[in-house]
Structure 1
Amino acid sequence: MKSPRRYAPVGGSLAPVRVAGFRWNGWQPSAVYAFIRLSQVWGHISDSDQPKDISDIEEVIRCNSLENKYAVIEREFYPVLELIKSQGLSALDSTKNMIILCSYVGHQVTRTKSFKDRSIKAIRQDMQNFRESEGYVHLLERNWWVISYILGTNVGAGLFLSRDSYHHILIKNNTKKPFVTGGHPVVNVHECVSRSDLDNPPKHMDLWFPIGPDLAYMVNESSNYDHLKLSIDEQEVGKFNETVARQSEGWVIGSTSEIIEEIRSRIGATA
């Protein structure tokens, strides 16, 4: 059986790298490989009888390594965001800018607590008939920090490779109701989500990404939201805000106290 092919359009080496029994051909980000090697080292530390201060050092290195990488992704994205605000979608005619945007959006999808919790819950349910399922779930939870990074890289790569077939929309909010963001800043609003559950996860994506109180970006498989290129009304703004708030498990950020209070009254969210 042929090994699966994985591509990531950001950095790395063309040389195939053997990771966890698989040969990944194409672009392999050096950061992913480094994280996996670190995870293997930390696994030996965790399994050995080491003093607590060694374990504390492990946790510091783990957190700092990943947060530093995310900080780089965010730092590269902010200039692209400013270009989008000033130039609109024409800023994404640059391949480099599109790569940076797709990378950022991909990681915003997978690095959140709600994505982690839903993913692990679905995997635990799927493996419930396996005798050693809890052991695998434990390994999954322990290594989620690097798994989420790999997933985010793959989501970003998929968005980039599909960029010409997806619908890219910039929505200007001229209503009196501002967009909100939160703990899950990019949410899937494709119609299939309403019919999904742990056994049948969504198979399509229409991604909603509010980038300011009066501006949002969408990258969609469907054409269901193409009309938003022209305008958006308050009712639609309210629906998107509520979706963001629910996906963010109540942790919401808004530009006015009024919009936060509205969210609180509707779903019990916290600022």
Structure 2
Amino acid sequence: MKRKQCGTFMPPKKFQVKKNHHHVWARYLQEWSADGKDVWHTTLKGKISLHSIRDICREDYFYKSNFLTSDHMKMIEGFSKLGDDDAQAMHAKYLSDFVFIQQLEKLYRNHSVSDAQVERMFETFRCNTIENYHGAHEREAAPIVSQLLEGDFTPLHNDKDLIMFLNFLGHQLTRTKTFKDRVLEAVPKTGLGGLDQDRFKTVLEECWFFISYMYGMNIGRNLYFGRQRTIFCILENSEDEPFITSDSPVINLCNTEDRKNLPDVDQLDLYYPLSPERAIVACRSGAFPPGITKVSKETVEDVNLTMAQHARAHIIGSEEEVIKRYHREIDGIS
């Protein structure tokens, strides 16, 4: 039966579909920009360009959700079990929103009436929900990051701020396209969970929008509950060598050789450059002391090299010459 159209409408702002999804926080990248708009970076073809922040580390509809089948639900459950019981309960709570909307949409599709506003609401939920989650974490973290940039550790001594920052930090690792691509590449040729490699990768990619978010939650929780054995250190760079960042802005300094597997949350030295002048490390190895540390040019070169080696396509810096020194080290073009 042909569906009856109920007319068109101009969607209010809350129902406007978000297409342009940044998998690295755009405001964060402004720290490397002289004018707040353009940064020096490598391109997908390995060239060096001064170009708009808005056009890098992004993909249309990157966080858009898909219809979840029984295969997707099994995979999500399997990844959820990597967390403790409380984490699994939290995953289930977030997942229930997607399941509920999916059930509503199925009921709607079974009727012969088509309503433009209802269609827009469903599309908005699919396109905007995970993007909005990340936007909320960014807004929570913004004042904390501003204080850390000033060398102020106060937020890290406040439980509420610490929870928000560590949750944010976990997501900055797992939300990126680089992380997604490397996890998919790590699927063994023999497959997993009774699925062959191709089918496993297809199912994983289709529900990655939720698994990546769930895994970011796990990392943030682990960092918080392991905070007594985590040292927080702000690194101040040598004036001769600014810090760079990349399309994988949070990296694990503990195991720089294995970049294709999910990191062991108990073996993390998470390094996150905050600006060309400062970076923060959530350190469990004891490699860095607590507080603010002025590091040598050689140390900056080492972490910049590691950052470039973890990048997929884009390294981002405040100066063209800095990008030139590291762009051949990028994993995706080396």
TM-score by length of structure 1 reads 0.75
Residues 128/172 of structure 1: CA separation in 2 closer, same or farther (3 Å cut): same
Count of residues in Structure 1 that have an aligned counterpart in Structure 2:
245
Q: Is the 8 A contact 1:186 1:208 kept in 2?
A: yes
Residues 185-233 of structure 1 show CA distances to partners (whole Å, capped at 9, x for unaligned) of: 100111x343x47689656111110011101100012012339943211
What residue in structure 1 maps to residue 228 of structure 2? 164
How far apart in 1 are the matches of 2:156 and 2:141?
12
Q: Is the 8 A contact 2:237 2:294 kept in 1?
A: yes
TM alignment of 1:232-243, pairs within 5 A: 232-243=295-306
How far apart in 2 are the matches of 1:246 and 1:87?
28
What residue in structure 1 maps to residue 268 of structure 2? 205
Q: Tell me, what secondary structure is at the counterpart of 1:212? A: coil
Specify every segment of 5 or more residues in structure 2 that has no aligned partner in the other structure, as ranges.
1-80, 109-115
Confirm whether residue 153 of structure 1 aligns to residue 217 of structure 2.
Answer: yes
Q: Tell me, what secondary structure is at the counterpart of 1:218? A: strand
Residues 198/243 of structure 1: CA separation in 2 closer, same or farther (3 Å cut): closer
Aligned match of 1:225 in 288, 294, 307? 288
Residues 38-78 of structure 1 show CA distances to partners (whole Å, capped at 9, x for unaligned) of: 56778999xxxxxxx99998665423111111111101100
- Higher radius of gyration, 1 or 2: 2
1:252 Cα deviation after fit? 1.5
Confirm whether residue 263 of structure 1 aligns to residue 322 of structure 2.
Answer: no
Residues 151/197 of structure 1: CA separation in 2 closer, same or farther (3 Å cut): closer
How far apart in 1 are the matches of 2:196 and 2:243?
45
1:138 Cα deviation after fit? 1.7
Deviates more, 1:261-270 or 1:249-258: 261-270
Confirm whether residue 215 of structure 1 aligns to residue 294 of structure 2.
Answer: no
Confirm whether residue 5 of structure 1 aligns to residue 84 of structure 2.
Answer: yes
What residue in structure 2 maps to residue 71 of structure 1? 135
How far apart in 2 are the matches of 1:180 and 1:40?
45
Residues 2-22 of structure 1 show CA distances to partners (whole Å, capped at 9, x for unaligned) of: x873435xxxxxxxxxxxxxx
- Amino acid in the other structure paired with 1:82: S
1:261 Cα deviation after fit? 2.2
How far apart in 2 are the matches of 1:150 and 1:170?
27
C-alpha root-mean-square deviation of aligned residues, in Å?
A: 3.6
Confirm whether residue 113 of structure 1 aligns to residue 177 of structure 2.
Answer: yes
Q: Is the 8 A contact 2:237 2:277 kept in 1?
A: yes
Q: Tell me, what secondary structure is at the counterpart of 1:75? A: helix
1:263 Cα deviation after fit? 2.2
Deviates more, 1:64-73 or 1:197-206: 197-206
How far apart in 2 are the matches of 1:118 and 1:111?
12
Q: Is the 8 A contact 1:36 1:146 kept in 2?
A: no
1:101 Cα deviation after fit? 0.7
TM alignment of 1:66-105, pairs within 5 A: 66-86=130-150, 88-105=152-169
1:175 Cα deviation after fit? 2.5
Residues 61/241 of structure 1: CA separation in 2 closer, same or farther (3 Å cut): same
Q: Tell me, what secondary structure is at the counterpart of 2:270? A: strand
What residue in structure 2 maps to residue 141 of structure 1? 205
Q: Is the 8 A contact 2:243 2:277 kept in 1?
A: yes
TM-score by length of structure 2 reads 0.62
How far apart in 2 are the matches of 1:115 and 1:254?
20
Deviates more, 1:88-97 or 1:116-125: 116-125
Specify every segment of 5 or more residues in structure 1 that has no aligned partner in the other structure, as ranges.
9-23, 46-52
Q: Tell me, what secondary structure is at the counterpart of 2:234? A: strand
Q: Is the 8 A contact 2:309 2:329 kept in 1?
A: no
How far apart in 2 are the matches of 1:217 and 1:73?
18
Residues 153-209 of structure 1 show CA distances to partners (whole Å, capped at 9, x for unaligned) of: 11111111111111111111142211111111100111x343x47689656111110
1:127 Cα deviation after fit? 1.8
Structure number with the higher helix fraction is 1
Deviates more, 1:76-85 or 1:179-188: 76-85
Q: Tell me, what secondary structure is at the counterpart of 2:227? A: coil
Residues 66/268 of structure 1: CA separation in 2 closer, same or farther (3 Å cut): closer
TM alignment of 1:21-100, pairs within 5 A: 24-25=88-89, 27=90, 30-38=93-101, 61-86=125-150, 88-100=152-164
Q: Tell me, what secondary structure is at the counterpart of 1:219? A: strand
How far apart in 2 are the matches of 1:242 and 1:175?
17
- More RCO (CA 8 Å, sep 6+): 2
